[in-house]
Structure 1
Amino acid sequence: MADPDTANDETAQTTQRSGLVRRVFEEVGLASLYSAPTDTKLLVLQRYVRLFAYGASTLVLVAYLSELGNSERRIGSFMTLTLVGDVCISFVLTSFADRWGRKAILLAGALLMVASGLIFAVSGDFYVLLAAAIFGVISPSGNEIGPFQAIEQSTLAHLTHSEARSDIYAWYALAGNAGTASGMLAGGWAVQRARSAGWGAIPAYRLIFYTYAGIGFVKFILACTLSGKIETEAETQEAVETNPETAPLLSGQVQSHTPPPKPSRWKRLLPQISKESRRTAVQLCALFALDSFASGLASLSWVTFFFKSKFHIGEGKLGTLFSVAAIVSAASVLVASSISKRLGNVKTMVFTHLPSAIALALIPVPNVPALAMTFLLLRACTQSMDVAPRSAFLAEILLPKERTAVMGLINVVKTSSQSVGPLVTGTLAGQKLFWVAFVMAGSLKATYDIGFLLVFAGKRGDRTRRGSSE
């Protein structure tokens, strides 16, 4: 016969273990993701799929254009024009996404990915490929560009309760980092296997773009499964009936049943942002422009080139180094979600991003490779920890009906600012002042962090919840 005390002890231990597991799941945000609507999970999955394609295509894009006979200067102009074109496309699509339908824009984006992948796989004409890169939103850097992130983040904001947003955005960011890393890894091995099997360089690279088109079709299928709850009409109805964000930070006026005056034809072409929101939108754009310009000064391609040229590190070791940095950066996103629950979104953004800015400025100082790599990895530890809290903060501070437009505007400003940075870094590198770019980037990012804290530390989205409960 079993001892009752032993049975009770085993039951207590089992309960304690299950409680610990539940606590861990809550801290890393898995509990929030598990209980999230199906649409939320689909959007996170779409993010992974899209960034997988971006990572794979970015790995071979420059080499592919070079094999087609384009000079480095022409390739550089290709990158610049791609970013400029992306700014225009993003501005238009995010401005009209809520009117045309968010699902329709996501479906169109998936089809454009399919078309651009096929064009890159069969054509070698510079201008045809440029058009495909712009309209298909092929990322020159492997990072998220185009209108789709703004639409998805805006949709996630109203699908998710405010307390769980930092968790959902953390997993959304993690999915993107994981997609880029796995896409680059899979794309690199696929090209190497193809070359080892006797394929030429161009056919091997075109294999990646056929895959890109196939991934675009997978994304199209995933977008088809989204429900009508992602549309702005559902969001507006929810805000009127139950959502505490019916009176958000940027809104202080009483609801009126009088229809607003119809905007002029030209004003319809601009994002519809209320007068109360414009000041905050300008502040956000100015700060994010500063941070994005700094990111452009120290883009991944330039950082890689710096380590290769200064320390003569081979491609294999470079790949390993930056893969480890990407994994560390991705893992840190989940830690940020836990911190933001205690410090709040703004303080988490600043106090995690500031150390990475300092580490970035110190990368060119050592003449010993190990120390420079240490600063690189230290930067990676907190580099992405501000992503989820920033998205959650934007969701709280912006009016529900204006989220897509303002987030799209912010993305346009960020992309425009970032596109200038590589040109400045290239000029400095040509003058043997490569190190100045890192110091400038770190200093500007630190200025951005301090500025964000000063401007937004007192503007918390939970003022809405307090106001609604009074």
Structure 2
Amino acid sequence: MRDMGRGLIAIFIAIYLTAIGLSMPQVGLLLTLSLLGGFLLSLLVMSGARYLPRKIWFVCLTFVTCIAGCILFLSDNIWLLSIGSFLGSYAASGMHWGPTIQLEQVSVTEITSEKNRPRAFSNLNIASAAGRAIGSSLVGIATYLIGVHDWSITDAYKVLIFIYVGINVINGIIYVFLTKEIEPNVPKNELIINPIITKSRRKILKLSSLFGLDSFAGGLIFDSFVAFWLFQKFGMNEGLIGIIFITTQMCNLVSLWLSPYVARKIGLLNTIVWTQVIASLSLMFFALAGSPILAVALWMFRGLFDEMDVPARQSYMMIIIPENERNVMSGTANLGRGLGRLPSSYITGLLWSGSLTIFPFMSAGILKLLYDFTIYRTFHKEKPVTIKPKPTS
């Protein structure tokens, strides 16, 4: 449900904001504020792990997202939209960072064994990708209202915003019914909430810094701007863009499903690295495509590899640290990804305002290749720490 909402808003947010009168640099600024808010909320969740149950954090974060959606529905004021974006992550920038994600990562780790953990993370991400695909398909409602009933773009998109808020309300209700099995398996006073004082701080900080680099690169090509690029360069309408994103997300599902099998054959770290090398090269060729058919084909081919590293990465970072450092590992890694993502959307907005659309794609590909090389060189000799799962009741 969470990513159904994200999949929906990612398609239309940049187009909607320009339709209500914002410039591309202003859109980039709003989405950057969204990422800054996610970063600070991630810090709050990590530092507050001792004080509130994870279920309460899940519910509170979803409530904040609903409030932000209401602001988007009711106002076109740049200052109010800035507040809403800061609190509610209008950027919808992918499935793999943010306060809710870090809570999900540690919760899944609590109830799985080391052997089954890659498949569990794969299933989690498949559910997320499926939700995004369904969310992307809902944008067809706006296309129908505009094309058949002659609605304005802003009125049609307000219907989508209303649906977005409703999805998050349902999501919050679901979180209320989570069980206590997701809570930490160690006493709360033993939970580490400061990465500087952990025994594994060098590993945590190195890995988090590399995730920041990867996130910065990914932020240059997030879904909202890719949708706008297809709209601007090839004249594709929202319905066709939605179909492209749905198909690509189906490719992502295949990628996620295959990830545990690939990891079992070549190892978690090799899966993280080499699948992303292919995805990064595909992204760079996508930027150079001269026809819509070639561009779409390259984008979908990239989708077959782009998500394969995610379950492997989530599993890997949980097996190289002791049990009481899971919270801080997940939190610091997500903070690294959030910090890396902060400037990228605004930089992309500035580049695109000058019609330099190829540079974000090429820069992202090069930076991701640098990330792949560095993480392999740094961690290829790292040994896992055995973690026992929590007994089920």
Name the TM-score, length of structure 1 as normaliser.
0.74
Aligned mates of 1:371, 1:210 — CA distance in 2: 35
Q: Which residue of 2 aligns with 1:166?
A: 118
**Post-superposition CA distance 1:74-100 (Å, at most 9, x none):** 333222222222211221122213432
Q: CA deviation at 1:343?
A: 2.0
- Evaluate the alpha carbon distance shift between residue 368 and residue 198 of structure 1 in structure 2; reply closer, same or farther with a 3 A threshold: closer
- Evaluate the alpha carbon distance shift between residue 72 and residue 399 of structure 1 in structure 2; reply closer, same or farther with a 3 A threshold: same
User: Quick check: 1:190 aligned with 2:141?
Assistant: yes
User: Quick check: 1:390 aligned with 2:313?
Assistant: yes
* 2:156 aligned counterpart, secondary structure: helix
Q: Which residue of 1 aligns with 2:391?
A: none
User: Quick check: 1:352 aligned with 2:275?
Assistant: yes
Q: CA deviation at 1:368?
A: 4.7
Q: Which residue of 2 aligns with 1:338?
A: 261
Match of 1:464 among 360, 376, 386: 386
Q: Which residue of 2 aligns with 1:89?
A: 41
Q: Which residue of 2 aligns with 1:52?
A: 4
Aligned mates of 1:58, 1:176 — CA distance in 2: 14
- Evaluate the alpha carbon distance shift between residue 143 and residue 165 of structure 1 in structure 2; reply closer, same or farther with a 3 A threshold: closer
CA contact (8 A) 1:113 1:212 kept: no
Match of 1:236 among 154, 161, 186: 186
Aligned mates of 1:189, 1:312 — CA distance in 2: 16
Aligned mates of 2:79, 2:346 — CA distance in 1: 22
Equivalent position amino acid for 1:136 in 2 = G
- Evaluate the alpha carbon distance shift between residue 433 and residue 197 of structure 1 in structure 2; reply closer, same or farther with a 3 A threshold: closer
Aligned mates of 1:142, 1:332 — CA distance in 2: 15
Equivalent position amino acid for 2:312 in 1 = P
Q: CA deviation at 1:58?
A: 2.9
Aligned mates of 2:162, 2:238 — CA distance in 1: 25
Name the TM-score, length of structure 2 as normaliser.
0.87
User: Quick check: 1:455 aligned with 2:383?
Assistant: no
Equivalent position amino acid for 1:464 in 2 = T
User: Quick check: 1:421 aligned with 2:337?
Assistant: no
Aligned mates of 1:368, 1:68 — CA distance in 2: 30
**Post-superposition CA distance 1:126-178 (Å, at most 9, x none):** 32332233223343446455301001101111111111000010011111111
User: Quick check: 1:78 aligned with 2:30?
Assistant: yes
* 2:49 aligned counterpart, secondary structure: helix
Matches within 5 A, 1:284-433: 284-307=207-230, 316-429=239-352, 433=356
- Evaluate the alpha carbon distance shift between residue 412 and residue 314 of structure 1 in structure 2; reply closer, same or farther with a 3 A threshold: same
Larger Cα Rg: Structure 1 or Structure 2? 1
Q: CA deviation at 1:443?
A: 2.0
Matches within 5 A, 1:14-53: 49-53=1-5
- Evaluate the alpha carbon distance shift between residue 144 and residue 120 of structure 1 in structure 2; reply closer, same or farther with a 3 A threshold: farther
- Evaluate the alpha carbon distance shift between residue 91 and residue 314 of structure 1 in structure 2; reply closer, same or farther with a 3 A threshold: same
Tell me the percent identity.
26
CA contact (8 A) 1:65 1:75 kept: yes
Aligned mates of 1:366, 1:433 — CA distance in 2: 15
Aligned mates of 2:76, 2:347 — CA distance in 1: 30
Equivalent position amino acid for 2:142 in 1 = V
- Evaluate the alpha carbon distance shift between residue 403 and residue 301 of structure 1 in structure 2; reply closer, same or farther with a 3 A threshold: same
Q: Which residue of 2 aligns with 1:176?
A: 128
Aligned mates of 2:237, 2:158 — CA distance in 1: 25
CA contact (8 A) 2:25 2:349 kept: no
Aligned mates of 1:444, 1:383 — CA distance in 2: 15
Aligned mates of 2:177, 2:36 — CA distance in 1: 32
- Evaluate the alpha carbon distance shift between residue 301 and residue 109 of structure 1 in structure 2; reply closer, same or farther with a 3 A threshold: closer
Aligned mates of 2:150, 2:128 — CA distance in 1: 33
Aligned mates of 1:439, 1:451 — CA distance in 2: 19
Equivalent position amino acid for 1:190 in 2 = I
Indicate the RMSD between aligned Cα atoms, in angstroms: 2.9
Q: CA deviation at 1:292?
A: 1.4
Aligned mates of 1:66, 1:366 — CA distance in 2: 26
CA contact (8 A) 1:137 1:146 kept: no
Q: CA deviation at 1:314?
A: 5.4
Aligned mates of 1:293, 1:91 — CA distance in 2: 18
- Evaluate the alpha carbon distance shift between residue 369 and residue 185 of structure 1 in structure 2; reply closer, same or farther with a 3 A threshold: closer
Tell me: higher relative CO, structure 1 or 2? Use CA pairs within 8 A at least 6 residues apart. 2
- Evaluate the alpha carbon distance shift between residue 292 and residue 142 of structure 1 in structure 2; reply closer, same or farther with a 3 A threshold: closer
Q: Which residue of 1 aligns with 2:53?
A: 101
Aligned mates of 1:209, 1:372 — CA distance in 2: 29
Q: Which residue of 1 aligns with 2:164?
A: 212
CA contact (8 A) 1:142 1:180 kept: no
Q: CA deviation at 1:112?
A: 1.7
Aligned mates of 1:307, 1:448 — CA distance in 2: 27
Aligned mates of 1:205, 1:226 — CA distance in 2: 32
Q: Which moved more, 1:321-330 or 1:427-436?
A: 427-436
Aligned mates of 1:226, 1:113 — CA distance in 2: 19
Equivalent position amino acid for 2:255 in 1 = S
Aligned mates of 1:293, 1:217 — CA distance in 2: 30
**Post-superposition CA distance 1:18-38 (Å, at most 9, x none):** xxxxxxxxxxxxxxxxxxxxx
* 2:51 aligned counterpart, secondary structure: helix
**Post-superposition CA distance 1:311-358 (Å, at most 9, x none):** 555555444333322211221110111111222211111122211112
Structure 1's unaligned 5+ residue stretches are 1-48, 240-258, 261-267
Structure 2's unaligned 5+ residue stretches are 389-393
Q: Which residue of 2 aligns with 1:154?
A: 106
CA contact (8 A) 1:98 1:231 kept: no
User: Quick check: 1:115 aligned with 2:54?
Assistant: no
Aligned mates of 2:93, 2:207 — CA distance in 1: 24
Aligned mates of 1:314, 1:115 — CA distance in 2: 29
Matches within 5 A, 1:199-278: 199-232=151-184, 235-236=185-186, 271=194, 274-278=197-201
Q: Which moved more, 1:193-202 or 1:395-404?
A: 193-202
Aligned mates of 1:300, 1:201 — CA distance in 2: 19
